[in-house]
Amino acid sequence: MVEHSKQLDLAFHALSDATRRGILDRLSRGPASVSELAKPYQSSLAAIHQHVQVLEASGLIVTEKRGRTRECRIAGEAVQRVENWLSERRQLWESRFDRLGRLLEGGDITKGDNA
Amino acid sequence: MVEHSKQLDLAFHALSDATRRGILDRLSRGPASVSELAKPYQSSLAAIHQHVQVLEASGLIVTEKRGRTRECRIAGEAVQRVENWLSERRQLWESRFDRLGRLLEGGDITKGDNA
DNA sequence: CGAATGCTCAACCATACACTTAAGTAACAG
DNA sequence: CTGTTACTTAAGTGTATGGTTGAGCATTCG
């Protein structure tokens, strides 16, 4: 369970903005250019471009310059890594919760994993 | 797929800081007081208290005043909600990827779900 | 060629963040 | 009652973020 602390900082920060989540949402349905991504929003293209940069720096998306447009795609494995971090913590919490349940039922707490 | 945008903003923002993730990590192993949470860090108690407030506002933890100490616990279902948001996007992206794979193999793309 | 398109870069601004220190309040302990 | 503990609040500080406008730079089109 290595701590890719910097990457998690960037990824969670990238996800903490509704516009960026919207962009990710859009990209989960297929690649798009920066201006396609900008269309649903009032913000300037430059602002969206900055959001794209934040997403790319976080590793959640990858982009590639194709002619004068930039193709943006979601990076599934990075999303998976973030998901896993959450999943690990939740499972730990839930297993503790289960152990507590057994204890309250008078079961043997030592049957679970470590203290 | 309702957008609890504000809650997601708060949750992802809360998770974007290594100290707060550390606190969550600690709490996934069981409840703790604010000063117990502060022990591993150099920061002032006030700083940790602020982090706890951020985490509580995000719904990722719940706290309860017990005498002069405050007991902090992780809120598994909130973690689960965040996890689900990520999972939904990743699965969408992956299903698209699968469809693309079938297309490249000469399969029938219409067998997948919506366009 | 020259014009339009799509992105990129730079500078600036207002707000939000993560701290800090210092003072304040509410349990307990003696 | 007095002191200690444990949290809480307030105010202040430096830095980062998200947004703007405006200019710059490669394509691509006519």
* Rounded average pLDDT per 10-residue block, chain A, 115 residues: 80 97 96 96 96 97 96 95 94 78 55 40
Question: Are B83 and A92 inside 8 Å of each other by CB?
Answer: no
C-alpha A42/C-alpha A23 separation (Å) is 13
Handedness of CA B86, B8, B14, A37 (dihedral sign): positive
Asked if the Cβ of residue B84 lies within 7 A of any atom of strand C, the reply is no
3-class SS of residue A28: coil
Confidence (pLDDT) at B98: 64
C-alpha B38/C-alpha A56 separation (Å) is 33
| Domain boundaries of chain A, sorted by first residue | 5-75, 78-111
Which residues of chain B (12-41) touch nucleic strand C at CB < 7 A?
13, 16-17, 19
Asked if the Cβ of residue A35 lies within 7 A of any atom of strand C, the reply is yes
* Rounded average pLDDT per 10-residue block, chain B, 115 residues: 80 98 96 97 97 98 96 95 94 78 54 40
Confidence (pLDDT) at A95: 85
Cβ–Cβ < 8 Å for B15, A90:
no
C-alpha B82/C-alpha B86 separation (Å) is 7
pLDDT tens per residue across span B48-66? 999 999 999 999 999 999 9
- CA-based end-to-end distance of chain A: 18
Which nucleotide minimizes the distance between its C1' and the CA of A16?
D17
Question: Are B28 and A96 inside 8 Å of each other by CB?
Answer: yes
Query: Which among A3, A10, A12, A25 is the top mutation candidate for probing chain B, defined by the most B β-carbons within 10 Å of its own β-carbon?
Result: A12
B5's tokens: 């945008």
Q: State how far the alpha carbon of A3 is from the alpha carbons of A50, A87, A92, in Å.
A: 27, 14, 16
Of A9, A24, A29, which is closest to B16 when you measure between CB atoms?
A: A9
C-alpha A94/C-alpha A47 separation (Å) is 41
Confidence (pLDDT) at A67: 93
**Chain A residues close to B92, C-beta within 8 Å:** 28-29
CB atoms within 10 A of CB A55: 28
Architecture of domain B5-75: Orthogonal Bundle (1.10)
Cβ–Cβ < 8 Å for B73, B62:
yes
CB atoms within 10 A of CB A109: 11
Confidence (pLDDT) at B95: 85
Confidence (pLDDT) at B85: 95
Which nucleotide minimizes the distance between its C1' and the CA of A13?
D17
CB atoms within 10 A of CB A76: 18
Confidence (pLDDT) at B69: 96
Confidence (pLDDT) at B96: 79
Q: Does A74 touch chain B (CB under 8 A)?
A: yes
Q: State how far the alpha carbon of B27 is from the alpha carbons of A97, B51, B93, in Å.
A: 12, 13, 32
Confidence (pLDDT) at A113: 42
